Amino acid sequence: MSLLEPLAAALDISVAELLSGDYVTNQNKMGNMLRSVFYVCPVCGNVIHTLGKCVVSCCGITLPAQEAEETDDGHSFSVEQVEDESFVTVAHEMSKAHHISFLAWVTSNKLELLKLYPEQNAEGRFRLRGHGVLYLYCNKHGLMKRKI
């Protein structure tokens, strides 16, 4: 095991890439925020955002990129204009066992992420300007999105 780190450094790759056998080439030549990728640690709940796919690990495990699905009836939200912001409300259970972990508003050049916690309301204010994608992450059903 003591040879892994020097070997990975010599090959200019991470130890995780060395052990998995998969070499990751950064294809992120243009940082368009609409190509955002979210990773969520199932152990500690960390949320990691990148502008393209990469190898991300947390709590000793390699995290898969979250694949966003369109919102369904159990994860729908409403958007109401309040002053110069938009108030987003998700009609969803917020217990410790089943809750919305975060809401995110992504445009071509901006990301606004709002971390939510169990036993609080699944709602938040965003400056929704122009067109973009509103994401929500349910700790049981994964990442969901809706274009606005």
Domain ranges of the chain: 4-63, 69-147
Whether the CB-CB separation of 102 and 47 falls below 8 Å is answered with yes
Work out the mean pLDDT of the chain and round it to a whole number. Answer: 88
2-49 per-position pLDDT tens digit: 787 888 788 777 777 777 777 666 665 566 788 899 999 999 999 999
Structure tokens at 1: 């095991």
Confidence of residue 148 (pLDDT cuts 50, 70, 90): confident
* 66 has a pLDDT exceeding 80: yes
CA quadruple 26, 29, 35, 37: dihedral positive or negative?
Answer: positive
Query: Strand 123-126 to strand 142-147: parallel, antiparallel, or no bridges (unpaired)?
Result: unpaired
Query: What does CATH list as the number for 69-147?
Result: 2.60.40.730
Confidence of residue 104 (pLDDT cuts 50, 70, 90): very high
